[in-house]
Structure 1
Amino acid sequence: MPATTAITGLGIKFGIKATANATTYTDVAEVFDITPPQEMDDEIEATHYQSPDGFKEFIGGLTDPGECTFSLNYVPGNSAEQLILATKTTRKARGVRLTWPNGYTWTFDLLIRGFQPTAPLNDRLTAEVTGRVSGSIARAAASV
């Protein structure tokens, strides 16, 4: 039996373009939990009077690129908060890049919709960022 090729998430980077015209991505510091977008296709009912055995039929519609959330260690006023809030304030999707530990990347535009800090009494401060993907997701192998 072959050995596993499983990897952990250690080393993932989440970068955001600091401005709409930026050509590079600024990595968000201390991200620890990412839920990448889940693409879901709309379903369009195509049932008709002669549908086989009286079962509904469907065809695929447009693809909804989904949402993306990530959590980070929160330090009020630091560069990560400033980057996220500046991006959110524009109310426009901004380029982001998720770099997996093996160098594979997902690049997409993200409309940041939510920024939720938490302040527990006896634990680290964290914040969760929620965004809506706009358009398609470009996937690419690691560049050499």
Structure 2
Amino acid sequence: MAGLDAFGTQLQRGNGAGPEVFTAIANVTDITPPALERETIDVTTHGSPDQWREHIGGLKDGGEVSIDINYDPRLHDTLVADLDDPNPRNYKVVWPGTLGDWAFKAILKGFEPEAPHDDKLAASCTFKVSGKPVLNPGI
């Protein structure tokens, strides 16, 4: 197989209740899932073999998630309100079909709407991942 169609991928937002209910964020046109990173720590010494730097793994970071949406203030007021919440919320990137999901906690850190005179209302949202994202494989 050469690849998989991304059409139908969703970013879902948890409501914080128990049991938690996840709802797809409306009108998403593009999703960039968590960009995982790991710091490296330089442990080079004067005795490092052949003067090559040596490194070990440091802290890991879930990075950021970004989405672009066809902005509708009536549908996206919840996202704007999330900027006031300092606590991480549960989200999921749900892959199409039975491919599973990627669950994570995040804080909405940016909401940028735009209203060009010759195009649609749109917005870009950026979420900072808090803690370890969990990949739940599909079938």
**Structure 2 residue aligned with 1:69:** 66
Counterpart Cα distance in 2 of 1:40 and 1:94: 21
- Cα RMSD between the aligned structures? 1.5
User: Please, which runs of 5 or more residues in structure 1 have no aligned partner?
Assistant: none
Residue 142 of structure 1, CA deviation: 2.9
**Structure 1 residue aligned with 2:54:** 57
Taking the TM superposition and a 5 Å limit, the aligned residue runs for 1:1-144 are 4-19=1-16, 23-76=20-73, 78-79=74-75, 81-103=76-98, 104-142=100-138
Task: Spell out, residue by residue over 1:107-126, the C-alpha distance to the aligned partner (whole angstroms, 9 max, x if none).
Answer: 00011000000111111111
User: Please, which runs of 5 or more residues in structure 2 have no aligned partner?
Assistant: none
Aligned pair count? 138
Q: Indicate conservation of the 8 Å contact 1:67/1:132, yes or no.
A: yes
Counterpart Cα distance in 1 of 2:109 and 2:29: 19
Which of structure 1's runs of 4+ aligned residues deviate more than 2 A? 18-22
Q: Which residue type is aligned with residue 121 of structure 1? A: H
User: How does the TM-score come out when normalised to structure 1?
Assistant: 0.89
Q: Indicate conservation of the 8 Å contact 1:18/1:83, yes or no.
A: no
Counterpart Cα distance in 1 of 2:94 and 2:47: 49
User: How does the TM-score come out when normalised to structure 2?
Assistant: 0.92
Counterpart Cα distance in 2 of 1:94 and 1:141: 21
Higher strand share: 2
Residue 20 of structure 1, CA deviation: 6.1
Q: Indicate conservation of the 8 Å contact 1:18/1:87, yes or no.
A: no
Q: Indicate conservation of the 8 Å contact 1:20/1:94, yes or no.
A: no
Once the two structures are overlaid, the 10-residue window that deviates more, 134-143 or 40-49, is 134-143
